[in-house]
Structure 1
Amino acid sequence: MLKLFDRNNNVAILIAGIFSIIIGLGVARFAFTGLIPAMLDDYLSIKFVGILASLNFAGYLSGSIFSIFIKDINIKVYLYRFGIILAILTTFVLAYSHDNTLWSISRVLAGFAGAMCLIVGTAIVMQKLTIKSKTKAMGIHFSGIGFSILTTDLIATFVMSLGNTWRDSWSVLAIFAIILSFYSMYILSFDKEVKQKAVKTKFDFSIFTPFVIILIMAYFAEGVGFVVQASFLPDIINNLPGLEGYGSITWTLVGVAGIPSCIIWMFLAHRFGSSNIIIIALLLQAVGILIPVFSTNMYLNLLSGVLYGGTFIGLVALFMNLGGQLSKGNPVVLMGAMTSSYGIGQVIAPLYSVYFIEKYGNYDYSLILTAVIVVGGAVLLLMAKKFEPKDID
């Protein structure tokens, strides 16, 4: 038990990393999706939901790109702590503020906080771990994304089941984040300042081969595929005839499916090749996106949640892993380009979704366009395989 409070214990480091993801992504981002149906009933409009989602991902994009260029691990620790605190403060805004401008600002800052908790926090976890196989360890770490959806959804649902409001759920989630933050900030720090040699890397643009350019385009498609369901899934399901109230269950299944997904997809990629598995995962995601368009069957729509949760986390890991292999030891430029492409997709998708929802009164056209873009990414990658280097997994 005492070892769990040892800053250098691998298990403690992984637990703290998962806690960080729960705070930065679960509380500061994904809990918003689960609470959308309740907030739509008495406060938000669907248009404002889309704008808030887009602002949140814009904040995450800026934080992601910013974090790529921070090399000093000691500065990363301070940024990570700042992200934790910012995630908690912006959650309290949702609980107590009635000002739309403040909500908008808070969602941008919450997105930035999420990047600090996930990307910077992951860098600290990687630095501190002493496990030989860090790849397997990171699979466990990224299972925290699934846990972040599951835990925050269960807490929010439980609070409202007691007759409380969605604002009370935000309060409880913020307090929950505070409790986790003490442990995660204590473990993910160093006993003394870490001395590092300054490593200078040149911007080698020769890495942008035809295959890499298409990979970046495919990652844009996945950014689009990720964000529509991440923003609206419970409301999508609740609006289907006969499935009112099933949105919450579907969102819970997203979290459950997401927990083991990264480990499974990375194992398959190692065995069958990353690009092959990315194509399969993209096509499965597209199927899940289209299910609510063509069916009101309860089980099929629950499956759509499983397919979403089972693919989006794994796809991020698959793309990043493949990008790392293609970066020729200089990942900054390529990771920046991939992250930007993914982030642009995240920012655009909620906006066109809102346009279609307001114009047609349902999610169908938004989901169809999203699925077409995701399939397009898979087709591009399939066509690009003839350019793929032979020396990668």
Structure 2
Amino acid sequence: MPEQTQRLKVLAAGIFSLILALGVARFAYTPMLPLMQQQAGLGVAAAGWLAAVNYAGYLAGALVASLIGDLVLKDRLYRIGMLVAIGSTALMGLTTDPVVWALSRFLAGLSSAAGMLLGTGLILNWLIRHEHRSELGIHFAGIGLGIAGCAAVVEVLGHYLDWQAQWFALSALGGLLLIPALAWLPAPDRSGVSRSGVPLEDRPPSPLFLRLFMAAYFCAGVGYVVSATFIVAIVDQLPGLAGRGNLVFLAIGVGAAPACINWDLIARRTGELNALILAAVLQIVGILLPVAVGGLAAALFGALLFGGTFIGMVSLVLTMAGRFYPTRPAKMMGRMTLSYGAAQILAPALTGWLAIHYGGYAAGLYLAAGVMVVGTLLLFALRSVERRERAGLLQPAACAAS
């Protein structure tokens, strides 16, 4: 098979795995949330806790990914995770028991970690070994396509099916996505060299750099999860926007689909950290627009900004992690995602509590924007640390040359 064809098939496997694990298993809960509240008796606080359980599953999966070094085992767990994604989606439609729903959301979180971390790590490892550009923009388009696709499916099927039948329809869609997600990803290569024989060496960051990086990524997790989980319900509660939440969620997916490719191009010109700072600032604007300005136009523009930035930040961070650890990319990816995932457990539960006390989820957006401001300041500090450390590494070489 020609090398370029093989590369496209590997990237396509990643795209389909993310549509399945993130779009169907994980993010379909967001457009389904209002329907489940109307038809299945799901309460406001319970909705927040289910989201928190989902992110707990994701965090557990990230912990596993950070501890496993063997590529063959990662490949096996990735494939199991894709099957779990379908099963957890079907489980949502089988009952109205909140405990079973919580189990489903936890399993969906595990499966999304398998796609997001194990699958991404395997694909990045393949790209590096075959000496392709180690950028994940095309791969991460699957998240935006998954969000937009599931929002469109829920919007269309909502006219014909009840909430249970919709979960089963989403499971059937997942079965179709499963085929290329498994068949087009080659078995991993455990050798320590690239295709041309160049050794692959890990270059881990300094402890200070890693601590600041993880703290900033925690803030990004808070900024992401509130909108990703509650934006449909938030928009539906805004004056004059009842019933428009799914349209806004669809706009998030539309904004996210090309975002990672765009941020790869920006990072080539500015560097990853400068690109992350720009994305964080734009994401704050996107989070606040629906509630600070109001109206459908502001909500849609905010959704496009949010979709176009949150996944770009994830892509940039995980690409950087893979470059630090080319022989085992999922190691640092898992550690970073532990920080991101911790935020995704705390923020939905806190947003549910705020919703009870303030009569709606909108207060959560202000919380998310405030935490993102802190994260942006941490990114500026991280850039300063990187410059100092780079100067410290370069100075001895300069002295020796003189």
With normalisation by structure 1, the TM-score equals 0.89
2:236 counterpart of 1:238: yes
Q: How many residues align?
A: 382
Alpha-carbon distance between aligned partners in 1 of 2:332 and 2:119, rounded to the nearest angstrom: 20
Residue in structure 2 matching 1:301, options 291, 295, 299? 299
1:13 counterpart = 2:10:
yes
1:167 alignment counterpart: 164
Maintained 8 Å contact 1:7/1:188: no
Matches within 5 A, 1:188-203: 188-190=185-187, 196=191
Render the CA deviation track for 1:197-239: whole Å, top value 9, x for unaligned: 69xxxx9998212x43222211110000010011101111111
Q: Is the 8 A contact 1:250 1:305 kept in 2?
A: yes
Q: Does the CA-based 8 Å contact 2:117-2:330 persist in structure 1?
A: no
How big is the shift at 1:335?
4.0
Report the CA distance shift for 1:127/1:219 in structure 2 as closer, same or farther (over 3 A): closer
Give the deviation of 1:265 after TM superposition: 1.1
The reply to whether residue 111 of structure 1 matches residue 109 of structure 2 is yes
Aligned to 2:20: 23
C-alpha separation in 1, matches of 2:285 and 2:108: 30
CA positional deviation for 1:273? 2.2
Structure 2, unaligned runs of 5 or more: 194-201, 392-402
Q: Given that residues 141 and 258 in structure 2 are in contact (C-alpha distance below 8 angstroms), is that contact kept between their aligned partners in structure 1?
A: yes
Match of 1:382? 380
Matched, 1:207 2:203: no
1:44-59 superposed matches below 5 A: 44-59=42-57
Q: What residue number does 2:66 align with?
A: 68
Aligned to 2:261: 263
Q: Residue 76 of structure 2 aligns with which residue?
A: 78
Q: For residues 16 and 331 of structure 1, what CA distance do their matches in structure 2 show?
A: 18
Residue deviations 1:245-303 (CA, integer Å, cap 9, x gap): 11111111111110111111121122112222211211111111112222222101111
Runs of at least 5 residues in structure 1 that lack an aligned partner in the other structure: none
Is the contact made by 2:125 and 2:329 (CA closer than 8 Å) also made in structure 1? no
TM-score normalised according to structure 2 size: 0.87
Q: Percent identity?
A: 35
Equivalent in the alignment of 1:272: 270
Amino acid at match of 2:215: M
Q: Quick one: structure 1 residues 17 and 386, their matched pair in 2 at CA, closer, same or farther if it must change by over 3 Å? A: closer
Say which SS state the counterpart of residue 133 (structure 1) adopts. coil
After alignment, is 378-387 or 271-280 more displaced? 378-387
Match of 2:246 in 1: 248
Q: Which residue of 2 aligns with 1:177?
A: 174
Q: Indicate which of 140, 143, 153 corresponds to 1:142.
A: 140
State whether residues 242 and 296 of structure 1, in contact with CA within 8 Å, keep that contact through their aligned partners in structure 2.
Answer: no
Give the 3-state SS of the residue equivalent to 1:9 in structure 2. helix
Corresponding position of 1:284 = 282
Distance 1:259 1:72, change over 3 A: same
